Structure 1
Amino acid sequence: MLLDVDNITLLYGRIQALHGISVTVEEGEIVALIGANGAGKTTTMRAISGLRAIASGRIRFNGVDITRMRADLRVIQGICQSPEGRGVFPGMSVKDNLEMGAYTRRDSANIAKDMEHVLELFPRLRERFKQPGGTLSGGEQQMLAVARALMSRPKLLLLDEPSMGLAPMLIQQIFEIITEINQRDGTTILLVEQNAQQALSRAHRAYVLETGKIVKEGTGRDLLHDPAVKDAYLGVA
């Protein structure tokens, strides 16, 4: 098992945001977390990446207990996040943004190879290579955020709302690239996404969160056809 999140709780002041969340991710999987706004999806992601400290429970990654490990050390362990809202460095070029993704690495030759690989995945970034990140469109910034995360050569790629604010055609394109990253490169992916249709169509397994609790789990296919999930998240009865 690559990631084992075991019964974690998390507090924002006196408010309990997560109530005993348990999630597992096997190597090579795409696992999705779906749910409405405020369900605890992004909070769970931040707990895994180390951006929010948990109150109780345990997180193990690749056999190592990382529960109290600093966020930057988790990146070195192999966890990298493409954050909600993209978080590109607006004054830095596309090239510099991508190089920032590899800041923990020292293998220059392989960094150059990976740069070429992400530019093949996202040809638009090659066209915008010298432009400041802040001048890119929303879709291009999302591509840059994912590509920057890939530059760390993650064992586990955390994608937080990759389709947020994108036009339907770009949403389809982003999810096709996510599938390619998983299938061609073998990268394990944990995906937080409000577009349940796309997420469940691509995921091997998924969890449904409501008010900081997991209320359903199963294969992506099973949840895609679950009547309650259809009614709540897919807009069909």
Structure 2
Amino acid sequence: MLLELKDVTLMYGRIQALHGISLSVGQGEIVALIGANGAGKSTTMRAISGLRPVAQGTITFNGEDITKLRADLRVVRGVSQSPEGRGIFPGMSVRENLEMGAYTRRNRAEINEDLDRVFTLFPRLKEREKQVGGTMSGGEQQMLAVGRALMSRPKLLLLDEPSMGLAPMLIQQIFDIVVEINQQGTTVLLVEQNAQQALSRAHRAYVLETGEIVKSGTGAELLTDPSVKDAYLGVA
């Protein structure tokens, strides 16, 4: 497995946010984490990227125990996150934002290759290359956040709520691009409230409820699971 969490517990002060969760992501997979607001999805992502320390349990990436590794060193190892709320640099241009994603890298030719790749995936960013990030629409900022995460040439791309606040047509487009990124060889762990879109594209998925994994299976299995349909797909 490329990524493995074993019995991971995480605290916010005295509040236990994750209750011994275990999950895995295999090389080349799209794995989805679905659940209601406050279920612990984003917290799980922060644990993996190193933004929050875990209280107990282990996180293994590419065969290495990274449980206590600093966040910036996880990026160097190949873990890159597009955070919830996008988190772009509003005063920087599109190109400058993308180049910030490559801050750990030195090979200029490879960086330029990846800029071209991002501009091919997101032609809108190429059109707005010199535009300041903060003046762009929500959909464009989301594309920029995903593009910036790709600039570190990750082995594992963490996507936290990529469809949040987007119009339906753009949601479809973002998910199609996630599939394309995966087909180009990048493994994806996807946190998403739009369960229908996530499960229809994920190879496997986990359902989180109040910091615990209550269900797992293939994307197709969970799409047809009565309790998942009832809770997350708006279908009785």
TM-score (norm 1): 0.99
Question: Which string of whole-angstrom CA distances, capped at 9 and with x for unpartnered residues, describes residues 167-219 of structure 1?
Answer: 00000000000000001x11000000000000000000000000000000000
2: CA distance between counterparts of 1:109 and 1:12?
Answer: 42
Tell me, yes or no, if structure 1 residue 219 matches structure 2 residue 201: no
Report the Cα offset of residue 100 of structure 1. 0.3
Distance in 1 (alpha carbons) for counterparts of 2:181 and 2:15: 37
> Partner amino acid for 2:227?
A
Q: Which amino acid aligns with 1:206?
A: A
Ranges in structure 1 where 5+ consecutive residues have no aligned partner: none
Using the TM superposition, give the Cα deviation of residue 20 of structure 1 relative to its aligned residue in structure 2, in angstroms. Answer: 0.7
Return the alpha-carbon distance in structure 2 between the equivalents of residues 91 and 68 of structure 1.
Answer: 33
1:136-215 to structure 2, matched below 5 A, reads: 136-183=136-183, 185-215=184-214
Measured after TM superposition, the shift of residue 46 of structure 1 is 0.2
Is 1:234 the counterpart of 2:236? The answer is: no
Structure 1: which amino acid aligns with 2:75? Answer: V
**Aligned amino acid, residue 44 of structure 2:** T
Q: Find the aligned partners of 2:34 and 2:90 in 1 and give their Cα distance.
A: 29
Counterpart secondary structure, 2:207: strand
Cα separation, 1, equivalents of 2:98 and 2:17: 33
What secondary structure, in the 3-state scheme, does the structure 2 residue paired with 1:125 have? Answer: helix
Structure 1's consecutive aligned runs of 4 or more residues displaced over 6 angstroms after TM superposition are: none
Deviation at 1:236, TM superposition (A): 0.2
2:43 aligned partner = 43
Q: Distance in 1 between matches of 2:12 and 2:91?
A: 32
* One-letter amino acid of the structure 1 residue matched with residue 161 of structure 2: E
Match of 2:119 in 1: 119
- Residue number in structure 2 paired with 1:134: 134
CA drift at 1:38: 0.3
Q: Please give the alpha-carbon distance, in whole angstroms, between the structure 2 residues aligned to 1:64 and 1:118.
A: 29
How far the C-alpha of 1:156 sits from its partner, in A, is 0.2
* 2:11 is the alignment partner of 1:11: yes
Letter of the aligned partner of 1:55 in structure 2?
A
CA distance in 1, matches of 2:107, 2:4: 29
Q: Unmatched 5+ residue regions in structure 2? A: none
Task: Give the deviation of 1:104 after TM superposition.
Answer: 0.3
- Paired residue total: 236
Could you tell me how far 1:74 is from its partner in structure 2? 0.3
Q: Distance in 2 between matches of 1:49 and 1:114?
A: 22
Secondary structure of 2:117's match? helix
Once the two structures are superposed, what CA deviation does each residue of 1:39-78 show, in whole Å capped at 9, x if it has no partner? Answer: 0000000000000000000000000000000000000000
RMSD: 0.4
* Cα distance in 2, alignment partners of residues 106 and 64 from structure 1: 24
Secondary structure, aligned partner of 1:158: strand
Report the counterpart of residue 85 of structure 1 in structure 2.
85
Q: Which amino acid aligns with 2:179?
A: T
Structure-2-length-normalised TM-score? 1.00
Secondary structure of the 1:4 match is strand
Distance in 2, Cα, partners of 1:11 & 1:114: 37
C-alpha displacement at 1:225, in angstroms?
0.4
Q: Deviations over 1:11-58 (max 9, x none)?
A: 011110000110100000000000000000000000000000000000
